[in-house]
Amino acid sequence: MNDLFWLDTGAGRPLVLLHGGFVDHSMWDDQIPVFASRYRVIAPDARGHGRSANATEPFRPTDDLAALLRHLDTGPAILVGVSMGASIAVDTALEHPELVDAVVVGGAGTSEPYFTDPWTTRALAVWHSAMAVGDLDASVEAFTLFAAGPHRTLDDLDPEVVSRLRRMARGTMSKHTGDEPDRLVPVRDTWDRAAKIDVPVLAINGSFDSPDHIGMAERLVSTVANGGAISVDGSAHYPNMERPAVYNEILEDFLRTL
């Protein structure tokens, strides 16, 4: 595990916070100290993100997470993820169910996303184009637009939130090049298998997120045996960063039911 970074703080029932794509564990800075007073909070940087090393061979993020939990001799854990982190949480409930007590997702369903909304497909195309030509500044700016969602501009967000996202994205994107091999191994048939997830699943979505992101999370919780969804007003893809007090209260209420 020497090539991966993680934060491990607090004591009690394990609570794992999984960040979104191209950011890092510090997106949870408003949650870690709050929940570490009552839980063992584990917040890793996924492979190729933040302070974790880039992949040198094929890998699956869910297997990295499972290996980390076993290395830390903990689990089953409550997995809380946003975007990519949400999909890793769901994959882990499918691939390593013995390590999962409950799942909280936001802005994602499984690791097999689909995008049909015009705003989302256009924003993704701009981002991918910037990444392909190695334009770091344009890549960071295109990525950060997801924080605003289709109904707002970045000027509508707290400048500190935008600054944090840009810093994290720049740190991770600068570790990669457009021509590097993609070593990520997908988890297959996730939507077909999602109904087999038998732990509680909660979706916490930002009300201003794109219809695709909200829709995938809501599809997931309507597919599993024990699912529910809550919307956080005044936020988009990162409700834990935009409305941390509200997000923390929703998460705490859910944890009390487990």
Tell me the pLDDT tens digit for each residue of 134-192. 899 999 999 999 999 999 999 999 999 999 999 999 999 999 987 889 999 999 999 99
Average pLDDT, the chain: 96
Residue of 27 and 75 predicted with greater confidence: 27
Whether the pLDDT of residue 118 is over 80: the answer is yes
**pLDDT value of residue 123:** 92
> Does CATH number 3.40.50.1820 belong to domain 6-115+181-256?
yes
Name the band, by pLDDT with cuts 50, 70 and 90, for residue 231.
Answer: very high
Average pLDDT over residues 92-110: 98
**pLDDT value of residue 177:** 84
Whether the pLDDT of residue 19 is over 80: the answer is yes
Whether the pLDDT of residue 133 is over 90: the answer is no
**pLDDT value of residue 142:** 93
Name the band, by pLDDT with cuts 50, 70 and 90, for residue 221.
Answer: very high
Whether the pLDDT of residue 79 is over 90: the answer is yes
Q: What is the DSSP string of 103-165?
A: EEESS--SSS----SHHHHHHHHHHHHHHHTT-HHHHHHHHHGGGT-TT--GGGS-HHHHHHH
Average pLDDT over residues 82-86: 98
The domains of the chain are located at 6-115+181-256, 118-173
**pLDDT value of residue 1:** 78
**pLDDT value of residue 2:** 81
Average pLDDT over residues 189-216: 98
**pLDDT value of residue 98:** 98
Give this prediction's pTM.
0.97
